[in-house]
Amino acid sequence: MDEKQFTALMRRFDILTKLLVYSIIKDNPVIIQVDILTKIGLKTSEIADILGKTENQIYVTQNKLRKANKKGALIGKNSSENEVNTNAE
């Protein structure tokens, strides 16, 4: 396999991976999507690429998640506003 074939194969693999990830996370709010993708070990740039967001948006969302986890807050899966639910009681 030469370099050109390898590059084409990797591009197809990347597309397949993105489609698979999207099918798993598509029905969740953005904050849940970021949480899932972070937990499976994707880099911030990879998450941004998959979700069509900027890296800065992903950093901000990850920061909200870290703060919520420190407080023991729950993430509102059923909320439509993609915010961290700090009313965990």
Q: Decide the pairing of beta strands 74-75 and 84-85.
A: antiparallel
Task: Give the C-alpha separation, 58 to 71, whole Å.
Answer: 20
Q: What is the pTM of this model?
A: 0.65
pLDDT in tens, 5-51: 999 999 899 888 888 888 888 899 999 999 999 998 889 999 999 89
Q: Positive or negative, the Cα torsion across 32, 37, 38, 40?
A: positive
Helix (H, G, I), strand (E, B) or coil at 30: helix
